[in-house]
Homo-oligomer: A and B are copies of this chain.
């Protein structure tokens, strides 16, 4: 804790969350690689920092296989290896791996397009790696972001956290966070869209107490209902949860239905999945293991569905319905999503990464009402009354 405290106060001296440019003059002895990417998709902006002084703590001999990562990590590789037992580095290594595995798999399944890899930093401090594929054979748009960001939480953000039940003393508090975030909009209307986001957050109050928590989730947005696919998806997530706590899946499934909800339409965005925030139970390593299991469950939950339907036949009415459903997706992300709102309110936020979650094309139509008994009506019924897809044993 003491180590963290020292590092955090150094950061505090040099960086600011308020979007002001950071002067590094007189800070030459520190190696900085810091940034701020608001992951405007699932829940909150994710922010992380590190400070590599000459003192090295928590040495580790672990060797990271970085050969397949999409780009150089935001934190120096050597540091990630040496301090791999510290949660922030452990998490960064994990999300780098997840980003790489998801991107490689999507490229393989698509067979046509590759990801554009955009590694960026900002003058305010912070960085991320934004990977985008567009106009693929299978994936019309896919984005997989990681970010490693840090700074000072401004008073309104601290107040918001307090309102969520965090007992934080102080007004402007140093924090860091890291996470991976992904949205995939496939071309074929019979292949559902998917979104996932896993993140780790630390904030230190003025007493020097470090508060940490994990958040995240994975959820599916089919254009048409396929019950077998829905069961497969939820079952895969449930298995990942059950390995850690049998209470997780039912709790986080409900949380997901509640969160991805458009009150003005009385509909959920999709058929849900899991969603959680503020996971802070000790031991921390158990929480990490759980989050890692969830992140590792993404590809097995989704790719079989993509493979099954990527060549399904469809024509104009299905495409039209898909574009209207994407309009709802845009509505949710721009009106209700906490991450997007929080992200866009952050001065100096990288809006390109936040808004990457939006589909390339979305439609709206006045009073589009699915015909009774149609496949369009079938999915809307499920969105209006979320179902249980996996029975408790």
Known: A330-B334, A351-B264. A360 touches B359 (CB 8 A): no
Majority secondary structure, A binding face: mixed
Chain B residues within 8 Å of A335, by CB: 334-335, 341, 344
Q: Which of A111-133 contact B (CB under 8 A)?
A: 116, 118, 130, 132
Residue of B nearest to A133 (CB): B366
Residues of A in contact, count (CB < 8 Å): 33
Chain B residues within 8 Å of A362, by CB: 330, 361-364
Chain B residues within 8 Å of A364, by CB: 355, 358-360, 362
Most buried by B among A134, A344, A356: A344
Alpha-carbon distance between A143 and B354 when the two chains are bound, in angstroms: 30
* Interface 0/1 of A81-101, CB less than 8 Å to B: 000000000000000000000
Alpha-carbon distance between A168 and B335 when the two chains are bound, in angstroms: 29
The smallest C-beta distance from A145 to any residue of chain B, in angstroms, reads 11
The smallest C-beta distance from A316 to any residue of chain B, in angstroms, reads 14
Chain B residues within 8 Å of A265, by CB: 351
Known: A335-B335, A351-B265. A363 touches B361 (CB 8 A): yes
Contact assessment for A349 and B132 in the assembled complex, using a CB-CB cutoff below 8 Å: no
Q: How many copies does the complex hold?
A: 2
Residue of B nearest to A143 (CB): B366
Q: Please, could you name 18 A-B residue pairs with CB atoms under 8 Å apart, sorted by A?
A: A116-B366, A143-B366, A264-B351, A327-B358, A330-B330, A330-B334, A330-B362, A331-B334, A335-B341, A335-B344, A352-B366, A352-B367, A355-B364, A356-B366, A358-B364, A360-B363, A360-B364, A362-B363
Which 9 A-B pairs give the minimum distances between C-beta atoms? A334-B334, A358-B364, A264-B344, A264-B351, A132-B366, A334-B335, A361-B363, A352-B367, A356-B366
Extra contacts, 6 of them, besides A264-B351, A334-B335, A362-B362 (Cβ < 8 A), are A116-B366, A134-B366, A264-B344, A327-B358, A335-B341, A361-B361
